[in-house]
Structure 1
Amino acid sequence: MEFTLWLGLVGAGAMISLTPGAGAINTMSNALSSGFRRSFWGILGQQLALVIHVIIVAAGVGLLVSSSPFLFALVRYVGAAYLVYLGIRKLLAKTEKDDAGDSPAAVESGFSMFRRGLWVNLLNPKAIVFFLAFMPQFIRPERPLMTQYVELTATVVVIDILVMWFIFAAGAKQLKHLTTSDRGQLILNRIFGILFICVGILLALI
């Protein structure tokens, strides 16, 4: 990939990652509930979903999904329902304390955060449609396709990791002091629960 084309890819990838969405909300929620470092597990799950999306589009399945009203609606409503489910869980979540009884305990496993991050991004049909419109601009048919897809995927994934971890997860650290009290935890759970539900509803309606 030519350097100028790659720079365009970097700019586009950054704009995509910086746009708030379910992945950003999930990352901030993880950072607040389990800590900045451990939130990386959820980010890794989201990146695996991005890789799968690229593979789906590259294999031509993405075109089938986007052109089939039934399949697109199925993925869309399942994804929306999953986000609403996460939101309801947040709203109903109880506050948790560590052994000393003073601060919230990070009890969720890394695999659980990884799995949730995977499904949050994977069940977003708009990502497939977006990559269908996005990828052809940076792929040159006369050149080896595999190399170009690897370069594109690696670039998008690295950018998304940096944005998710050092902007959204790091930004959530500014609210970490709220997790030291029951009231603060409840407020944050309700905020992120409502955000998950709102994104799910938007995904279903728009």
Structure 2
Amino acid sequence: MSFSTWLAFFAASWAISFSPGPGAISALASGLKYGFRRGYWTTIGLICGIMCQVLVVGIGLGALLAASELGFSIVKWLGVAYLIYLGCKQFRTDASPVAVEAKSLETFKIRELIARGWLVNITNPKGTVFLLAVVPQFLNLSASLTPQYLIIGATLCFTDLVAMGFYTALASKVLKLLRNPRHVRWLNRAFGTLFILAGTVLATFSHHK
């Protein structure tokens, strides 16, 4: 991969990372609930999901998944179910987003936020199909593919770390401005609705699209 090709992919990665989707909603919801410092752990999980997606595409399983109606449907409906579950959970969350800040570190489960972010990305087959459609345009097929996939994965991880960090920080700033529990409750419901809508949109997605 030449430097000019990488620059083109780097520019495309920013658009990919900042585009609204389940990952952005998850980062916003975590920022609202936990603040930036702790909510950012969800982004680490999202990055792990991206790395898994790139690995799946890189070793050829992505093409197999996109070609298999059954495999694609299994992953898709797992993603739909998980997004709707997150939406319902967000809907029922308490109206005091700063409550976690008062808890001890022992009661704050980082692994749960990482797992949440990872599941959001790994159960979204749209990511695999998207990578299959976009990544080959930037590959030099006459050179070794492994280092190129490593560069692509690292680039996507970097831009997503920044983009999801922005969303988390944005929500955490909103959190600090909210003092009325009623407003917080409605914001939680708004994020819950967005999760459910994201799941609904994913349900309509086909690997033929």
TM over 0.5: yes
For 1:177 and 1:187, the matched residues in 2 are separated by 15
Q: In the alignment, does 2:68 pair up with 1:73? A: no
Q: Verify: 1:203 aligned to 2:198, yes or no.
A: no
Residue of structure 1 equivalent to 2:12: 12
Question: Closer, same or farther in 2 for the Cα pair 1:88/1:202, shift >3 Å?
Answer: same
C-alpha separation in 2, matches of 1:45 and 1:62: 20
Equivalent residue for 2:51?
51
Question: CA 1:178–1:187 in 2, change beyond 3 Å: closer, same or farther?
Answer: farther
Runs of 4+ with deviation above 6 angstroms: none
In structure 2, the residue matched to 1:184 is 183
- Structure 1 distance, partners of 2:43, 2:180, is 26
Deviation per CA, 1:117-154, whole angstroms, max 9, x where unpaired?
Answer: 00001100010111111111121122122211111111
Question: What is the CA distance between 1:179 and its match in structure 2?
Answer: 4.5
1:105 to 100, 103, 114: 100
Shift of 1:96: 4.4
Query: What one-letter code is carried by the residue in structure 1 that aligns with 2:82?
Result: Y
Q: Deviations over 1:178-205 (max 9, x none)?
A: 5533213211210111110010011002
List runs of 5+ in structure 1 lacking aligned partners: 98-102
1:114 aligns to 2:93 (yes or no)? no
Counterpart-to-counterpart distance in 2, 1:31 and 1:92: 17
8 Å contact from structure 1 (residues 104, 179) kept in 2: no
Q: Aligned in 2, Cα 1:57/1:5: closer, same or farther, shift over 3 Å?
A: same
RMSD: 1.6
Per the TM alignment, residue 109 of structure 1 is displaced from its structure 2 partner at its CA by: 2.0
* Aligned residue pair count: 200
TM-score by length of 1: 0.91
Q: Which runs of 5+ in 2 are unaligned?
A: none
- The 5-angstrom pairing of residues 19-168 of structure 1 reads 19-96=19-96, 103-106=98-101, 108-166=108-166, 168=167
TM-score by length of 2: 0.90
Give the distance between the partners of 2:134 and 2:12, measured in 1 at CA: 9
